[in-house]
Amino acid sequence: MSPDLPAVAPHVTAELVAALSPRLRKRLDAGITKLLARPAVREGDSVRIAVDDDTDIVLEAPGGTVTSADAIRCGCLLAPDCLHRAAAASAAPVADDAPPEPPAEEAQGQRPAPPGTPTPGAETPEPTTSETPKAPGTDETPTAGRLAAARAVYDAAAAVLEAGADGAGAVLQAELLRAAHSARLAGLPRASAAAVSVVTGVRAARSADPGYRLADLAAALAGVLGVTHRLPHATGPELADLRGTARQPYRPDGSLRLYGLFSEPVLTATGYAGAVTWTADADGRLYTVSDVAPGGPARAVGAADRTVRMGDTALTHRELSRAGLAVSGATVSPTGRLGAGAGVRAVRASGATWREEPLDRLWAVPAAEQVRRALNGEHDLLFLEVTLVGTAREAAGDCLLADCGGVPVRLAVAHDDPALPYRDNLRLLASAPGSRLRVVGRLVSAPRPRALLLAAEHPADPAARVDLGLDRLQRADLPTEPVPAPAVPAVAGAGDEAPLHLLRRRVHQAVSGGRRVLSFTQGGQGDGIRLRAAGLATAADLLGDLHAAAADRTRDAFGRLLPADTNRFARAWLAAAVYTDTVESALCAQAWGAAPVPA
């Protein structure tokens, strides 16, 4: 997937791939690889790719998105039924497949974002208008059309799981995009967005995107399979939740006095980039201002110096993160994102340091209480006061080990793209053990306390702060006087930690390599024995079911292998994924000393 190409709507890719002959479909993945090696030149709203000396492909993207198959043109002799058009669409980021935008006066200054674009809490920046609310008592049961659309998404996602990211080529991706578009038209935006997120994750995995995380793709697959599996059995409020909303409503919120907290860059595998600035009001409620649009690492780095699109303010995101904002006529989404409509007025105001009111109260909340709220569905930011200990080596790279009130916490980088200074800053902080800092992190649900490090106090100046994804620390910023590093706190019960990773590993292996990987592992009997010995009998049963489903290949009367039962394997995998997520949340709450999370 190339961030140099404009985003392409899901139905466009599905249409172009479906039009290929069986012979060309077999060559599609090779065609994508070849196309990605060619330079893309942007000319206004058009992007031109020179396939060879005589052939060019042109993608017309008014507004940054290709919305019709006719907008992709090729100069080869086989056009329009050539391989090049389908390859270009499959190599591009996936665009939002939302319905047409509302009138300009209703959505002025508000930019919809693609599914999978992480903003606060790794969420999608929500579009800012709402669907017409339905009368109470309507949509008590799913319609036949929605059931068919949900089944199509489920089957397409199960086929992707069957093949794994390694084997899910452009044809399988296009089938899932087609199902996603049908689900959107049938009024199932949640299933549609989840399906698009899976395609985005698969493309990131196959292109070795630096921001790709296997756990994220596994979560996306579990999300789309879970929603479409449950939807036929849902009624009433549960059905409404599973359907989702294409656009979240922005409610009026009067006048707000906000204080900047920090800014974080946004850089996604979908080809979107920008920045999100977090603010808080006098009561400690969090609000965000975002600027996310098509782009790559350069836009993610530069967006912090772009002017905030709200009212008459001339503040940049970087300035707002340290200053304040007075807003009148504010509109706010359910996720805390501030709208920027024509009636919103905003001017610069004084800010506050993290150790002054009202921001100081964010760090006054015990870490265990913050974790409990995050696991219960509130924002997942953690405001921690930590003492740096050193580094802890992990397979994905070193992380920062810190002591948070007697709890050993691992602080990892929020994004691995080398254009962002997260990892360099973490290495420098690790070289200053003993420093006591206030930090902001994003909770990671794991059996041991873990968070993604987003911002921190300046090591030598507590009145200053560092946005670790935007600002770059220097060696001179570290304390000149060495501080003795504290002893690493003991982890209670570390030697008796539940071996849940044995099941999680198989869940992730299936996402990466598909069903065939688990069919060669001899049923995981040894892992099952270890799980039962640790008291995780349910985990052992789920692991056995997963291996049995992977190895189940029946033969016909002539001894020929019949097609695998993708539905059985998908159900077994989904059960294992949901179980591990639930147990990990409980273990995460226990590790932080938080109250148990309701089932």
Q: What is the DSSP string of 513-548?
A: H-HHHHTTSGGGHHHHHHHHHTT-HHHHHHHHHHHH
- Residue 263 main-chain phi, psi, to 5 deg: -120, 150
Contact indicator for 477, 429 with CB cutoff of 8 Å: no
With bands split at pLDDT 50, 70 and 90, how would you rate the model's confidence at 57?
very high
Q: What pLDDT was estimated at residue 566?
A: 87
Q: Give 70-87 pLDDT, tens digit per residue.
A: 999 998 888 888 899 999
Section 54-76 average pLDDT: 88
Domain 251-349 is of which CATH architecture? Beta Barrel (2.40)
In the chain, which residues fall in CATH 2.40.50? 251-349, 365-490
What is the edge-to-edge ordering of all strands in the sheet holding 56-60? 40-43, 46-50, 56-60, 72-74
In order, the DSSP letters of 167-213 are: H--HHHHHHHHHHHHHHHHTT-HHHHHHHHHHHHHHHHHHTT-TT--
User: How far apart are the C-alpha atoms of 389 and 156, rounded to whole Å?
Assistant: 47
Section 30-55 average pLDDT: 87
Which of these ranges, 87-96, 262-271, 445-454, has the smallest mean pLDDT?
262-271
Which of these ranges, 211-215, 327-331, 347-351, 466-470, has the smallest mean pLDDT?
211-215
Q: Give 17-34 pLDDT, tens digit per residue.
A: 999 999 999 999 999 998
Q: Is pLDDT above 60 for 341? A: yes
Q: What pLDDT was estimated at residue 495?
A: 39
Q: Is pLDDT above 70 for 108? A: no
Section 179-191 average pLDDT: 92
Q: Which residues contact 135 (CB under 8 A, 6 or more apart)?
A: none
Q: Which CATH class is domain 365-490?
A: mainly beta
Which of these ranges, 120-134, 528-542, 576-590, has the smallest mean pLDDT?
120-134
Q: Is pLDDT above 70 for 130? A: no
Interhelix angle 537-551/525-533, nearest 10 degrees: 170
Average model confidence (pLDDT) across the chain? 84
Q: What pLDDT was estimated at residue 113?
A: 36
Angle at 69 between CA 68 and CA 74, to 5 degrees: 135
What is the edge-to-edge ordering of all strands in the sheet holding 345-349? 286-294, 272-280, 251-267, 324-332, 345-349
Q: Which of 476, 478, 441, 428 minimizes the C-alpha distance to 458?
A: 478
Q: Is pLDDT above 80 for 470? A: yes
Q: What is the pTM of this model?
A: 0.80
Hey, which of 383-397, 425-439, 551-565 has the most confident mean pLDDT?
A: 425-439
- Joined tokens for residue 49: 């790719």
